[in-house]
């Protein structure tokens, strides 16, 4: 990662259950930055839960709204010189148009990783509301993870979350990003 890249927008990516939202909230708090969850932005935009969007418009409809919500978020100023941590849904980074929008915006991407069984365990444990229709079928869940691995590896940073607390992962990411996080100055 070249030291010249400086940003105040960090996007957490990874599969369902990777811990993007929990880690994102803690990381944002540590940095004094704002936190946004793309699934929440999608639900606000559509006025429906993620599951309801999948049911009424299919995955294609959901991906369209997801890309639009991401573009909107990238166009936002974070305000008051603050940086922004964003948790992306597990499929967002897999869409080439989303990756190129992130690239253009100079976003930094961090992949949160965990083994399949751990991801399943966390999805079963978490109360993620009505946001994970693609986690209902165990076989499909495993296949999707496999299909997405090569795209996930395009993230600029990677952190193994296995056996670590949310605080430990957030602190590890903070350390990794020390050189690429822009100092708190107005743009």
How distant is the alpha carbon of residue 128 from its chain centre? 14
Pick the closer one to ligand S3P by CB: 6 or 71.
Answer: 71
Q: How far is the CB of 90 from ligand S3P (least distance, A)?
A: 3
Contact between 184 and 138 under an 8 Å Cβ cutoff? The reply is no
In the complex, least distance from residue 138 CB atom to ligand S3P, rounded to whole angstroms: 14
Closest separation in Å from C-beta 184 to ligand S3P: 28
- Between 32 and 96, whose beta carbon lies closer to ligand S3P? 96
Give min distance, CB of 170 to ligand S3P, in A: 17
Question: Considering beta carbons, is residue 37 or 172 the nearer one to ligand S3P?
Answer: 37
> Where does the chain show beta strands of DSSP type E?
9-13, 34-37, 84-87, 108-113, 157-160
Cβ-proximal residues to 15 (8 Å cutoff; 6+ apart), any chain = 90, 114, 119, 144, 145, 148, 152
- Contact residues: ligand S3P, CB under 6 A: 16, 20, 39, 50, 89-91, 128, 131-134
| CA neighbor of 98 nearest in space, from 109, 84, 113 | 109
Residue, CB closest to ligand S3P: 89
Contact criterion met (CB below 8 Å) for 166 and 23: yes
Q: Measured from the CB atom, is 151 or 174 closer to ligand S3P?
A: 151
């Amino acid at each position: 990662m070249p030291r010249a890249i400086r940003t105040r927008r960090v996007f957490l990516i990874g599969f369902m259950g990777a811990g993007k939202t929990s880690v994102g909230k803690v990381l944002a708090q540590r940095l004094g930055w704002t936190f946004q969850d793309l699934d929440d932005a999608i639900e606000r935009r559509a006025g429906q839960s993620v599951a309801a969007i999948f049911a009424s418009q299919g995955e294609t409809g959901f991906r369209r709204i997801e890309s639009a919500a991401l573009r909107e978020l990238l166009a936002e100023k974070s305000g008051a010189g603050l940086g922004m941590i964003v948790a992306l849904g597990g499929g967002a980074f897999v869409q080439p148009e989303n990756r190129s929008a992130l690239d253009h915006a100079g976003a930094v991407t961090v992949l949160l990783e965990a083994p399949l069984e751990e991801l399943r365990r966390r999805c079963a444990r978490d109360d993620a509301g009505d946001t994970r229709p693609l986690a209902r079928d165990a076989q499909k869940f495993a296949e999707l993870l496999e299909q997405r691995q090569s795209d996930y590896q395009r993230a600029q940073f990677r952190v193994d979350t296995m056996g670590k607390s949310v605080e430990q992962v957030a602190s590890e990411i903070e350390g990794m990003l020390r050189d690429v996080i822009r100092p708190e100055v107005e743009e």
